[in-house]
Homo-oligomer: A and B are copies of this chain.
Amino acid sequence: MSSKELAVSELHRLIRNGHYAPQSQLPSERSLAEQLQISRSTLRKALATLESEGELWRHVGRGTFVGKCPAVESEVFPLPADLTNPSEVMEVRLILEPEIAVLAAHRATKTDITFMRQCLVKGDAARDTATFEMWDGALHRVIAEAARNTLLLALFQAVNAVRGHAIWGELKEATLTKQRRKRYVVQHYNMVNAIERRDAVDSQRLTREHLKAVRDDMLNKHY
């Protein structure tokens, strides 16, 4: 067995046994060559083999890393979190989410729907607001994913990010009485039922009604 092949094996082993964790950075070529007691050019040949097998990736000036090279950095877009307000956010949600429900009614998989049902059960059983909110969020998100439009999902998540803000959080907390939660749970069940039976029109209508209820509860009581 050649020097190179020995190095390939040893590096393979070190990666497999977790000595070099996934996504972690390996030592530099110069120090790794010294550590394995081979020349740097031999090491480079071994690394090239491992890279071609998808075990690691290398980048000039950065280093050598375990695993697959991360996807190209996404573009980013500015989000006017400090300039918008709850009313605008609800208005946007009322535009997006009923249409998301239409697409979800057409495109949801059995797995999607199973998870939606899980969210319903967990949300219904929640003992505090934070838990309820978490499952509420998860439900809306899986519906958005079920729409199967990457861009639309990104926009949905951006809107959610704005909702996550502190000023908004206080409104949520004060609004979510037990009575209202019960009503939202019923509305959630109806939405998921409509999606499951592939009824796009009902999905849209029920989502719109749910969001109007949320909006009215939130805005009328406090403004």
Contacts and interface: CB of A to CB of B under 8 A. Distances in A.
Interface string A137-180: 00000000000011110110111011000000000000000000
A77 B154 contact: yes
A115 B219 CA distance: 34
Describe A's contact surface by its main secondary structure.
Answer: helix
Copies of this protein, total: 2
A78 B213 CA distance: 30
8 contacts: A76-B76, A76-B78, A77-B77, A77-B157, A92-B149, A92-B155, A154-B158, A158-B158
A82 B74 CA distance: 8
Given A77-B77, A78-B154, A154-B79, A149 B72 contact: no
B161 A158 contact: no
Nearest to A158: B77
